[in-house]
Amino acid sequence: MTSSSVASASNPDIDDAQALARGAARLFWQLGYSAIPEFILPDGRRADLFCVGRKGEIAILEIKSGVADFRADNKWTDYSEYCDTFYFAVSQRFPHDLIPPQCGLVIADGFGGAIVRESPLDKLSAARRKAITLKFARAAADRVMRAGED
């Protein structure tokens, strides 16, 4: 299997997180968002996929490659301070009933995805939105600059 395959060769119960992130990013791009993977939030935590929409709306997606990954990680509970909507992005094989009802749900693979449950909207304050959007813009520009250095 290649690194772009959806299932891990060593454990078929674990999906390739990079492929899930790629599919989820493509979905949100089609919805009018720009996305940065592995975005460092102001509290130092790393959001798997941080997305900013055309009107400045902010979505965070947490990629879960398997049940063990989901159960071992609680950092996502703090992400609501930095987004308007929050989603888990998982594969079709992931048990959907494990995803808390207060979270949106995206089913993804290496090629795209679909929102199967919308996230509740919890709008950020204007000051927080401005600060996090500026951080997003600088992170994107820094990545472009570093890419040109390679």
- Specify if 38 maps to a domain: yes
The DSSP secondary-structure symbol of 82 reads G
- Specify if 2 maps to a domain: no
Question: How much is the average pLDDT of 36-44?
Answer: 96
- Specify if 10 maps to a domain: no
Q: What is the pLDDT of residue 5?
A: 42
52 token code pair = 């900013």
Q: Give me the sign of the Cα torsion angle 25, 96, 120, 79.
A: negative
- Specify if 4 maps to a domain: no
- Specify if 94 maps to a domain: yes
Question: How much is the average pLDDT of 90-95?
Answer: 95
- Specify if 45 maps to a domain: yes
Q: Give me the sign of the Cα torsion angle 131, 137, 140, 145.
A: negative
Question: How much is the average pLDDT of 82-100?
Answer: 97
Residue whose structure tokens are 């693979």: 109
- Specify if 9 maps to a domain: no
Give pTM, 2 decimals: 0.88
Residue 120 has pLDDT above 60, yes or no: yes
Number of domains in the chain: 1
Q: Across 66-70, 88-92, 145-149, which has the greatest mean pLDDT? A: 88-92
User: For position 33, which CATH number holds?
Assistant: 3.40.1350
Q: What is the pLDDT of residue 14?
A: 54
For residue 85, how many other CB atoms are within 10 A of its CB? 21
Q: 73: domain range? A: 17-149
Q: What is the mean pLDDT of the chain?
A: 91
CA–CA distance from 50 to each of 34, 81, 133 (Å)?
A: 8, 13, 10
CB proximity list for 69: less than 8 A, separation 6 or greater: 14, 17
pLDDT in tens, 93-109: 999 999 999 999 999 99
